[in-house]
Amino acid sequence: MKKFDKDRLLLAFAGPALALVTAFVLTMIVLAATGVDPIDPLRIMVENAGYEDVQVLIVNQAGTYYLAALAVAIGFRMNLFNIGVDGQYRLAAMVSAVVGTAVTLPGPLHILLIVLVAMMVGAFWSGIAGVLKAKRGVSEVVSTIMLNAIATSLIAYLILPKNLGVQPEGSNDLNTGEIAQSGWFPAVDLGDGLEIYGFTFVAFALGIVYWFVLNRTRFGFDLRATGASESAAQASGVDAKKMIITSMLISGAVAGLAGMPVLLGESHTYSLSFPVGIGFTGITIALLGRNSPVGIFFAALLMAFIDKASASLDTAGYAKEIGTIMKGLIVIAVVVSYELVGRYGIRRQQQKVGEELAAGGAIKTDKEVAA
Amino acid sequence: MRRITRIATVGLASAALALSATACGGKNSSDASSSSSSSASGDAKAATAAIAYDIGGRGDQSFNDAAYAGLQKAETDLKIKGAEAEPTDGEGEADKVQRLTELARKGNNPVIGVGFAYAPAIKKVAPKFPETTFGIIDDTSVTGPNIANLVFNEEQGSYLAGVAAAKVSKTGTVGFIGGVEVPLIKKFEAGFTQGVKDTNPNAKVLSAYLTQPPNFDGFAKPDLGKAAAQGQLSAGGADVVYAAAGLAGSGAIEAAHAAGKWAIGVDSDQYNQAGLSKYKDKILTSVTKDVSDSVYNLIKSVKDGKPENGEIRYGLDKDGVGLSDSNPEYKKMADVIAAVEKAKADIISKKITVKTAP
Amino acid sequence: MELHGITKRFPGVVANKDIAITVRKGTVHALVGENGAGKSTLMKILYGMQKPDEGTIAIDGEQVSFTSPGDAIARGIGMVHQHFMLADNLTVLENVVLGGEKLYGIGAKARKKIREISDAYGLGVRPDALVEDLGVADRQRVEILKVLYRGARILILDEPTAVLVPQEVDALFDNLRELKSEGLTVIFISHKLGEVLKVADDITVIRRGTTVGTADPRNTTPKQLAELMVGAELPSPETRESTVTDIPMLTVAGLTVAQGGLAPVATEDTARTPESSDTFVHEPAAGGRLLLDDVNFTIHKGEILGIAGVEGNGQTELIEALMGMSSADAGVITLDGADITKSPVRKRREGGIGYIPEDRHRHGLLLESPLWENRILGHVTEAPNSKRGVLDLKAARKDTERIVREYDVRTPGIEVTAASLSGGNQQKLIVGREMSHNPKFLIAAHPTRGVDVGAQAQIWDAIREARREGLAVLLISADLDELIGLSDTLRVIYRGRLVADADPATVTPEELGTAMTGAASGHLEATDNRSAGTDAGADSPEDEAR
């Protein structure tokens, strides 16, 4: 039996490894083809990652990415494609920032309130897509994309000074006002003004919760079963509609958290320059990490590394879009290599089972024992 | 200053794994370059200036390019070295802090943040580098002894555009196209509308914004500007459109040219812009915003040892904003020019106060 | 046509070994063998879909080598697949010319040619009928015509009778005889021995990838043939003594399900609709059509109720209504005295309904999950799988090992995915799982479909054993022998209604077939109640052995 486990583990690594190697090689080919030194930019990126301030950026960014990717992964495990994480976290961050500014509570309670509001808003926004899918059969892909656009417009409207926003004196920016210090999440201070957001650790801890719920609870089993085969899950007693709504709600609630590391740890307000696009990177990361909490962790670090380490490439005379190319190639490579490795794995296992059975490797059954 | 931690390096194992071949080579040189960069900051001989771009980066044919032009001018005229850094899409405050810190640490002076998005970051970084002058464009919310706030009275230039548009218009309907609905662009709209109404109280101003933040496509996609302008020109009955929409504005100019109506450009004198030469005979005028000069002036002031600080406002009085007159057609319109000149004088003499919000 | 020493290896497995077949021109040659004996591989080789590793194929004495089905077609070989490959929304003409446009064009000439072929072989195909309006048998004739249209002289028919009722089978055989008389050669793959004996001129038996013998249909009995095929004695589905009690376990009263009466549940229903049309008289699926119409029956403890019917006459809907996967529009379902009409699936499963689904890949298994997770499926709330909402993996794994042992699931371990098991072993796992929760009532839909003979016997044994302990079983099967052999009571479903009942002790498959087509109703035989099965079978000992 150990043999199959080892095999599976090996294959689990083979997918991402193949994807990454392919992506990096392709990147180098692209660079070489455009007449750029193919090695040097990558060398600079690795070098950049050696600096402490870049490392802090990477870790903080990875925390944010991790939450977004978990949100996407929850959907993926259920065969739902929540493209709406981006709108969900932005709306959640905006509304929770407004609430957080409006109240003053003792420290932990203040933070808890902001976090809860964010989760609720995120869940509400994705829940719309869930209900539409369950009740009306609307594809969640379409509805979440549209909800992203609606979220953008809604935020743009809400943040107007005549509504919930403020325009600080002398600024051309709009924000939601600053959250009182009691609502700032304590950070890990590394000196030199370098801080790792405290919420980053919450994010990684959530990975453990994710793993437990999915792999060790009835609910998680139902969710995975539905993702693996909706028809079989339904026959097994899973209420598919309820499951769609529930998992969308959870996915949205986690998505709502994706804005929290920045909101609680850095900006303390939602402004026009609040980070965007995290939800989409989250999709890449969930794919690359194969929806596993550990895989997503490394994938999030990798994406954050590419982001941050490539950011200063232009000061060295290279286009920092090299990072973007790399990310794009990783997505393609991931999809292709996982498919290949997956097929190979199934074929290989069927073969091995056949071989083992032929070689008399089956578990002794009663019939044989009796014979 | 820059230490290399081992802890986080472990976390990066996955990335390093994929790059293991280059990673080994990288370590030594990262040590080397970290020491060289710190020494560079210490005894740099040539003065250097740095600008950190806003979203879009260099090549946006607008705001960022104007800042770059200022830097270029400083490089040739003042014999300084320029450094640039571009943002990545969707980045947060921490990235901007890191970018400014790095630029300041490398000994660049001044360090200029292009765009209001840099305000929170400058607020954090400026106190740490008291010897460095930080410039920020379009923001006065952050202040400090070493911060220069470079701001413009866009509404004044737009007011003049409104006067010109109202004078030229035969239908009495003019159009305004804003790129992204942010307060900055609202200033353009406010000035323009006021200019039109003050000139012809019966005139109608059609207003449209291409996108809402954080979607900044409205500054980047000409097709959006084109579609909006077509709507205003045909269905709306406008015969002059003023597009304050960065690159997207070129679409509006194209649409106006196709319809045989007037367009008013923005930021730089678009009549002379190479990319728009096909349509230039229909570019009535442009509202200029002299970002490049403001950048140049700041660099010069630092070089001269008298660094600017506090609010440096560029209005009509300093020709920081204005209305271009490169189009020969425009030059022939004596009554229009007269009205514009009069309005300009009135604003400078404060007889007219232009609103900054619609 | 002659095949010699055909050997095909797949990595780790030899699918075909040294196969030798000689097919005489102008005959119907039957290839029989169990599932997995290597028939399909052989056919794929013949049709050019795969290349043999060794061996030769000769047609009319000339050696040939195919690299693609195109080559095979060019040599006059045509294949009629088990699953029809027709586009529903096109006419017969369009389907036939599709891909063969160069032969006779797409217009009048093609139509004339189709008529010609149809008349020549008595196929009775109307070129302008829409395929979706055709029944199964008609579609099959279109498939045959499609092959003939392309000039085939040798036809390969893969399990052509699996989807037909006995009367249709006879009609098909008439067609085959017609073809034969015109000098065409037919290779007929089947594991239904009675049929093979009826139509074939020569029979070749394949077992474990190799040809083990030939038989002359004129002096061979089905039993001899079967033993040749299995290499051992043939199991029989007959039920011995009656264990029927008079305690009702499941009562269904007035059960009615209307199409469109409930919102389609995700992909489920939509995927089924094309097939669920009636076989003979196609009615466009108008909203509100009754899929189940006032269905009433009672199954007692220890009773097996068999439902016969052509597929798509309401069996799926009946199962879904009983399982709670779709809700009944009218009627009451009572399980062991409790009204479960409104209960969700999980409640019903917890209440003691076991379910062997008709399509195990869609409804019974998570193919890419390990066996122990499949053991949890459907019983996640029950011991030993979980405690208070948290899974008990250790207990579940242990119990999976028990099932593997007790139900003879041939697997190297419980960590392999369900997909890597053969159909029979997958089915045994499902049966074992469902039986492990002491069901009061079992729905067994085609429990031995696609299962080899050995596993078939074990599954029958398991059902029979549970019945003896008081299990009530609803058996739905397309295999009439299985139905007659296992059931205590028989009902026939036709267009959503239970139109006839029969005594399995006396009814013949032909009589059942008549009722399945709607041609007969009411009680099918002079009454003689439940002395089930005692006279049906002669060979008995292995049944009682367990």
Which chain B residue's Cα is nearest to A64?
Answer: B92
Would the pLDDT of A249 be above 90? yes
> Is residue C78 within 8 Å of residue C148, measured between CB atoms?
yes
> Which residue in the block uniquely carries the two structure tokens 């797409």?
C106
Residue B255's identity, in one-letter code, is: A
DSSP A343-368: HHHHHHHHHHHHHHHHTT-SPPPHHH
- Terminal alpha carbon distance of chain B: 48
Residue given tokens 């070989």 in the structure block: C77
Q: What is the pLDDT of residue B129?
A: 92
Percent of chain A with pLDDT over 70: 94
Which residues of chain C make contact with A223, given a CB cutoff of 8 A? none
- Asked if residue C530 and residue C511 are part of one domain, the reply reads yes
* C54 membership: H or E segment, kind and range: strand C54-59
Q: What is the dihedral of CA C308, C311, C314, C319, to 10 degrees?
A: 80
Q: CB–CB of B218/B62 below 8 Å?
A: no
pLDDT beneath 70, residues of chain B: 1-46, 56, 60-61
Interface subset of C 351-370, CB within 8 angstroms of A: 355, 357, 362-369
Cα–Cα dist A59/A54, whole Å: 9
- Are B118 and B141 in contact by the 8 Å Cβ rule? The answer is no
Q: Categorize the per-residue pLDDT at C224 as very low, low, confident or very high, splitting at 50, 70 and 90.
A: confident
C204 and C68 in a single domain? The answer is: yes
- What is the token pair recorded at A265? 């740890």
Comparing CB atoms, the residue among A239, A357, A366 nearest residue C408 is A366
Interchain CB contact of A312 with B (< 8 Å): yes
Nearest beta carbon to residue A225 from set C347, C357, C377: C377
Beta strands in B80-234 (DSSP E): 81-85, 111-113, 134-137, 147-152, 173-180, 204-211
Is A17 within the bounds of a domain?
A: no
Pick the closest to residue B218 from B226, B227, B210 (CA basis). B210
Please check whether residues C264 and C406 belong to one and the same domain.
no
Q: Which amino acid is at C264?
A: P
- Confidence category of residue C526, pLDDT binned at 50, 70, 90: very low
Question: Per-domain residue ranges for chain B?
Answer: 45-152+290-320, 154-289+327-348
Under 8 Å CB-to-CB from A6, ≥6 apart: which residues? none
Nearest CA to CA, how far is A338 from chain C (Å)?
14
Query: Quick one: CATH architecture of B45-152+290-320?
Result: 3-Layer(aba) Sandwich (3.40)
**How many Å lie between the alpha carbon of A367 and the closest alpha carbon of chain C?**
6
**Nearest CB neighbour to C412, from listed A222, A232, A353:** A353
- Mark yes or no for CB contact A274/B214 under 8 Å: yes
Nearest Cα residue in chain A from C380 = A218
Q: What is the pLDDT of residue C204?
A: 86
Helix (H) or strand (E) holding A293: helix A293-310
Residue in chain C lying closest to A136 (CA) = C263
- In whole angstroms, what is the distance from residue B79 CA to residue B74 CA? 7
Which chain C residues contact residue A247 at CB under 8 A? none
Total Cβ atoms within 10 A of residue B238:
27
Q: Answer yes or no: are the C-beta atoms of C199 and C31 closer than 8 Å.
A: no
Nearest CB to A315; choose among B85, B128, B183: B85
Cα(C359)–Cα(B123) distance, integer angstroms: 66
Q: How far apart are CA B214 and CA A155, in angstroms?
A: 9
* Whether residues C280 and C362 fall in one domain: no
Same domain, C140 and C101: yes
Phi-psi group of C312: left, alpha or beta (phi > 0 → left; psi -120 to 50 → alpha; rest → beta): left
Q: What is the DSSP letter of A315?
A: G
For residues A59 and A370, is the Cβ–Cβ distance under 8 A? no
DSSP string, C62-130: EEE--SSHHHHHHTTEEEE-SS----TTSBHHHHHHTT-HHHH-SSHHHHHHHHHHHHHTT----TTSB
How many whole angstroms separate alpha carbon B49 and alpha carbon B132?
10
Cis bond upstream, residue B110 (ω within 30): yes
Closest by CA position to B106, among listed B123, B87, B81: B81
Please tell me whether the interface predicted TM-score (ipTM) of this complex is above 0.85.
no
Contact between A240 and C265 using a beta-carbon 8 Å cutoff:
yes
- Domain total in chain C: 3
- On chain A, the residues whose CB falls within 8 A of the CB of B17 are 20
Given a cut of 50, is residue C531 above it in pLDDT?
no
Last residue of a domain, one of C409, C437, C465: C437
Same domain, C119 and C223: yes
Using an 8 Å CB-CB cutoff, list chain C residues near A12.
Answer: none
The per-residue pLDDT of chain C, averaged, comes to 79
Whether the Cβ atoms of residue B243 and residue B252 lie closer than 8 Å to each other? yes
CA distance linking residue C409 with residue A365, whole number of Å: 7
- Verify that C187 and C226 share a domain, yes or no: yes
Cβ neighbours of residue C271 closer than 8 Å, sequence gap 6 or more: none
Dump pLDDT digits (tens) for C365-396: 998 889 999 999 989 888 888 888 899 999 99
Chain A: closest CA distance from residue B280 (Å): 31
Contact B267, B67 (CB under 8 A): no
Q: Structure tokens of C280? A: 């003979």
Name the nearest CA neighbour of C327 among C348, C341, C346, C306.
Answer: C341
Q: Which of residues 104-123 of A touch B (CB under 8 A)?
A: none
Q: Are residues B26 and A278, on separate chains, in Cβ contact within 8 Å?
A: no
Among A4, A233, A346, select the one facing C415 at the smallest CB separation: A4
Same domain, residue pair C122 and C193? yes
CATH number of the domain to which C276 belongs: 3.40.50.300
* Contact assignment for A57 to B182 by CB distance below 8 Å: no
Helix (H, G, I), strand (E, B) or coil at A251: helix
Pair A91, A99: CB distance under 8 Å: no
Average pLDDT over residues A27-31: 89
Q: How far apart are CA B53 and CA B112, in angstroms?
A: 9
Chain B nearest C-alpha distance from A92 (Å): 15
Task: Identify whether the C-beta of residue C168 lies closer than 8 Å to the C-beta of residue C175.
Answer: no
Section C77-86 average pLDDT: 80
CB contact under 8 A, C345 and A238: yes
Domain that holds residue A88: 60-288
- Specify whether the CB–CB gap between C145 and C137 falls below 8 A: no
**DSSP letters for A44-80:** HHHHHTTSHHHHHHHHHHHHHHHHHHHHHHHHHHTT-
pLDDT at B148: 93
Map tokens 């370590």 to a residue: B27
Q: How many CB atoms lie within 10 A of CB C101?
A: 10
**A224-228, B139-143, C101-105: least confidently modelled range:** C101-105
Give the model's pLDDT for residue A148: 94
Between β-strands B240-244 and A195-196, what pairing exists: parallel, antiparallel or unpaired? unpaired
Q: What is the mean pLDDT of residues A45-56?
A: 87
- The correct answer on CATH 3.40.50.970 for the domain covering B154-289+327-348 is no
In whole angstroms, what is the distance from residue B107 CA to residue C510 CA? 97
Which domain range does residue C418 map to?
Answer: 354-437
With contact defined as 3+ CB pairs under 8 Å, the chains touching B are A
Same domain for C369 and C336: no
| Mutation target vs A (from C381, C411, C433; most A CBs, 10 A cutoff) | C411
Query: Is C414 in Cβ contact with A235 (below 8 Å)?
Result: no
- Ramachandran bin of C287, using left for φ above 0, alpha for ψ from -120 to 50, beta for the remaining angles: beta
Whether A251 has a pLDDT exceeding 60, the answer reads: yes
CA–CA dist A204, A191 (Å, integer): 23
Tell me the Ramachandran region of residue A113: left when phi exceeds 0, alpha when psi lies from -120 to 50, beta otherwise: alpha
Give yes or no on whether B45-152+290-320 and B154-289+327-348 have one common fold.
Answer: yes
| % of chain C surpassing 70 pLDDT | 84
Whether A5 sits inside 8 A of C415 (CB atoms) is yes
Torsion of CA C179, C181, C183, C184, to 10 degrees: 20
Comparing C465 with A254, which gets the higher pLDDT? A254
Smallest CA–CA distance from B33 into chain A, residue: A47
Give the integer Cα–Cα distance in Å for A119 and A126. Answer: 11
Q: Which residue has the higher pLDDT, B341 or C168?
A: B341
**In this structure, are C367 and C419 located in the same domain?**
yes
Q: Residue C94: name the closest of C135, C49, C125, C137 by CA.
A: C125
Find the residue in A nearest to C382 (Cα).
Answer: A218
Contact of A5 with chain B, judged by CB distance below 8 Å, is answered with no
Query: pLDDT class for C525, splitting at 50, 70, 90?
Result: low
In a domain, A338, yes or no: no
Q: Let me know if B145 is exposed, middle or buried by CB neighbors in 10 A (0-12, 13-18, 19+).
A: exposed
A342 touches B: beta carbon within 8 Å: no
Alpha helices in C200-332 (DSSP H): 222-230, 268-272, 315-323
Q: Which of C184, C210, C230 is the last residue of a domain?
A: C230
C-beta atoms of A43 and B22 within 8 A: yes
Task: Say yes or no for a CB contact (<8 Å) between A234 and C11.
Answer: no
Contacts B87 to A, Cβ<8 Å: 311
Provide the 10 A C-beta neighbour count for residue C198.
14
Q: pLDDT by residue (tens digit) across C249-301?
A: 999 998 998 876 543 433 334 434 444 333 333 333 444 678 888 899 999 99
Contacts with A, C 326-355, CB within 8 Å: 344-350, 355
pLDDT digits (tens, 9 = 90+) for C15-69: 677 788 888 888 888 888 766 567 777 887 888 877 777 888 888 878 888 888 8
* Chain A residues close to C387, C-beta within 8 Å: none
**Nearest residue to A308 via CA among A330, A327, A294:** A327
Q: Both C68 and C181 in a single domain?
A: yes
The answer as to whether A331 is a domain residue is no
* B8 contacts A52? CB cut-off 8 A: yes
pLDDT at A93: 96
Burial (0-12, 13-18, 19+ Cβ within 10 Å), C216: exposed
Which of C230, C249, C277 terminates a domain? The answer is C230
Q: How far apart are CA A89 and CA B171, in angstroms?
A: 46
Residue owning tokens 């290597």: C38
DSSP code string of A91-145: HHHHHHHHHHHH----HHHHHHHHHHHHHHHHHHHHHHHHHHHHHH---HHHHHH
Mean pLDDT confidence for C455-465: 85
What is the residue whose two structure tokens read 């070098």? A47
C/B touch flag: 3 or more CB pairs below 8 Å: no
pLDDT tens readout for residues B169-208: 999 999 999 988 888 899 999 999 999 999 999 999 999 9
B312 to chain A, closest Cα gap in Å: 12
Together in a domain, C331 and C421: no
